[in-house]
Structure 1
Amino acid sequence: MRFWLGSSFADADEYVPLAQAADRLGYDTVTVSDHIFYADYEARYPYSKTGAPPYAPETHWPDVWVTIGAMSAVTERVKFAPNVYIPVARDFFTVAKAVSTAAYLSNERVRFAAGVGWCKDEFLQTGQDFHTRGRRFDEMIPALREVWRGGEVEHHGEFFDFGPLRIAPVPRAPVPVYIGGESDVALRRAARIGDGWIGNRVYREDDLETLLVRLEGFLAEQGRSLDGFDVVAPIGAMPSAELYRKWRDRGVASTLAAPWWTATPQEREKFGDGLELKIATMERFAEEVIAKV
């Protein structure tokens, strides 16, 4: 099993040292959350009962690709992904150029984890149509893959019409695409066009099993299975090597963990609540879990 580091709600100046620690300790991928701005949103956050998002106005949301560039410049092995990026809240070429450049300069250590988004307010401010976001996403992902292959490309679709043209630099290898979301539409999309699926909330074990069964059904419709399909699932149980071995054997290839979420009272007393705590708990998790799985 591969261990992705969930760094949501970290302060911007913590990302570089967290990436360096992840690189040293054997984490597979560092994730960066994506929001453009905070406001008194009209849109409801879909993963809370109240509809309110689980973050404060002062929460840092650094630009995903600038942050990944900074982290990749001071690391050698660890990979990077947004969790999740909303490409259809931007124009096509802003996305194509940013991801292509980040992948190239990081020596192919970028994973493109993306979803259609829930925050209508952000679409309104960037001038993108919220109501067609699913159809635009379905057209955008294959078109991005074509542009990232390099050479002259043209595309003439319902929402995107361009070329012949080319961008450079382009990645030396295909950028893996992970699809977020847990609705039937999102899971079908992942099964149809994704290299994997990524969850962005913590799943209780029974809920995760239910979700996997649904995903397996949609994969079967495409002649696919969990073999070769990378599921990245945060698991809502106390971390242990046994826990992750069980879910690895079930077909969960990767998990998302933020070890400071389960810091002990002793660790909080010793290290406080900032960067020092985060790195100390990452070290413990690496020793107790990653090294044994």
Structure 2
Amino acid sequence: MEFWLGSSFSGAGEYLDLARAADRLGYDVVTVSDHLFYADYDTPYPYSPTGVPPYRQETHWPDPWVTIGAMSSVTERVRFATNVYIPPVRDLFTVAKAVSTAAVLSNDRAILGVGVGWCKDEFLQTGQDFHTRGKRLDEMLPALRTLWQGGMVEHHGTYYDFGPLSIAPVPDKPVPVYIGGDSDAALRRAARAGDGWIGNRIYSEDQLGELLTRLTGFLSEHGRTLDDLAVIAPIGAMPSADLYRKWADRGVRGTLAAPWWTASPEEKATHGKGLALKLATMERFAEEVMAKM
């Protein structure tokens, strides 16, 4: 079982310390999230019954690839992923160059976690078509992989048409692509084109079981199984080694955890609400759960 650290809603000044701690304590991946700006969105937030997002104007959303580059410079082992990055809100070459550069600077420790995005407001501000975002992402992924091969390449499709041309630098190894989202369209995309699937919300055990059943069915349409797809699932149950062993046996490759979400009253009283609490609970989680796996 891999342990991915979810760092969303952290202050920009905390990321380097979180990355150092994750590297030292044995976490496998540190994740960062993606938003371009905060506003009184016209688009309802899809993961809340009220439609209101769980963040505010003061919440930090540092650029994911700048942040990954910085974290990679102070670590040696831990990998980094976006959970999730929204490629279709940007042009193809901005995405290709940012991800490629981060992969090179991190010595191939970058993972591209992608989604189609829910916030129409961001698409309007960047001039990208919100309504074709799924189709454009489907075409973007092979185009990105072509660009990352290096050398003179070309692509001629419905939404993207280029080449022959080259970008540099490009990574030595393919950048793993993990698909986010739990709609049928997202799971089909993961089954068809993903190296992995990553959940971007917390799933009860019943929900996770149902999701794996759906995903298994979509994988079978492409001659694949759960062994062919790295499933990373946040699990809404009290963390324990037994819990993660059970889901590893069912095909889950890793889980997303932010140990400060389950901080005890004593930990909060001792360490407050900021970076100190995050570091202390990361260490406790590594000792009580990760070390027993």
Report TM bin, short chain: over 0.9
Structure 1: gaps (5+ residues): none
- Taking the TM superposition and a 5 Å limit, the aligned residue runs for 1:111-122 are 111-122=111-122
| 1:103 pairs with 2:80 | no
Which residue matches 1:162? 162
- Taking the TM superposition and a 5 Å limit, the aligned residue runs for 1:237-248 are 237-248=237-248
Q: CA deviation at 1:151?
A: 1.2
Paired residue type of 1:170 = V
Tell me which stretches of 4 or more aligned residues in structure 1 moved more than 3 Å. Answer: none
Which residue matches 1:284? 284
Q: CA deviation at 1:25?
A: 0.3
Which residue matches 2:62? 62
- Taking the TM superposition and a 5 Å limit, the aligned residue runs for 1:2-13 are 2-13=2-13
1:128 partner SS: coil
Which residue matches 1:264? 264
2:228 partner SS: coil
Paired residue type of 1:16 = L
Between the aligned partners of 1:156 and 1:291, the Cα distance in structure 2 is 49
Between the aligned partners of 1:219 and 1:48, the Cα distance in structure 2 is 29
Between the aligned partners of 1:231 and 1:35, the Cα distance in structure 2 is 24
Between the aligned partners of 1:152 and 1:94, the Cα distance in structure 2 is 18
Which residue matches 1:51? 51
How many aligned positions are there?
Answer: 293
| 1:174 pairs with 2:204 | no
Which residue matches 1:88? 88
TM-score (norm 1): 0.99
- Taking the TM superposition and a 5 Å limit, the aligned residue runs for 1:226-237 are 226-237=226-237
1:227 partner SS: helix
Between the aligned partners of 1:47 and 1:219, the Cα distance in structure 2 is 25
Paired residue type of 2:10 = A
Which residue matches 1:36? 36
TM-score (norm 2): 0.99
Deviations 1:75-110 (A, max 9, x none): 000000111000000000000000000001100000
Q: CA deviation at 1:137?
A: 0.3
Paired residue type of 2:262 = T
2:173 partner SS: coil
Between the aligned partners of 1:212 and 1:277, the Cα distance in structure 2 is 33
Which residue matches 1:199? 199
Which residue matches 2:273? 273
Between the aligned partners of 1:228 and 1:110, the Cα distance in structure 2 is 19
| 1:184 pairs with 2:218 | no
Paired residue type of 1:109 = R
Taking only aligned residues, the RMSD between alpha carbons, in angstroms, comes to: 0.5
2:227 partner SS: coil
Q: CA deviation at 1:228?
A: 2.8
Which residue matches 1:20? 20
Between the aligned partners of 1:64 and 1:141, the Cα distance in structure 2 is 18
Structure 2: gaps (5+ residues): none
